[in-house]
Amino acid sequence: MRTLLVLGCLAVTTAFVGPAFATTDAYVLIETDANRGGDVMNTNWGFGQCKGLAHMFRPDEIVVQVACTDLASLQNAVGADIPARDGVKRVTLWIIEADPR
């Protein structure tokens, strides 16, 4: 009986909470000013409803995986927040993936 109750509560919770976990991900190439790659790399990569995971492949190039809760937040992060960072020279959007949840 307890198992049935737990499974029922889990199903109801999943039905209501599932869509809140849907994300839109993007991969962004960031070119930095000369000798500023380390400074840009060590900044906070969280903006509004987005979080980023940065990887440096060359001294002046960083790839950031940006995950946002909606497309509008992603547009704001890629179009305004990231280019406004000190030391960022150019931002190139590679790919956008939407989680179908």
Q: Which domain holds residue 30?
A: 21-98
Residue 25 maps to a domain = yes
48 domain-assigned: yes
Residue 34 domain-assigned (yes or no): yes
Residues 77-100, mean pLDDT to the nearest whole number: 87
Q: Is 44 within a domain?
A: yes
Domain-embedded: residue 47: yes
What b/e string do you get for 66-89 counting C-beta neighbours within 10 Å, with b at 16 or more? bbbbeeebbebbbeebbeebebbe
| Residue 83 domain flag | yes
Residues 62 and 40: beta-carbon distance below 8 Å: yes
Beta strands in the chain (DSSP E): 24-32, 46-47, 50-58, 61-68, 88-98
Domain count along the chain = 1
Identify the CATH number of the domain in which residue 54 sits: 3.30.70.920
Question: How do residues 33-80 score in pLDDT, each as one tens digit?
Answer: 998 888 888 888 888 889 999 999 888 999 999 999 888 888 899 899
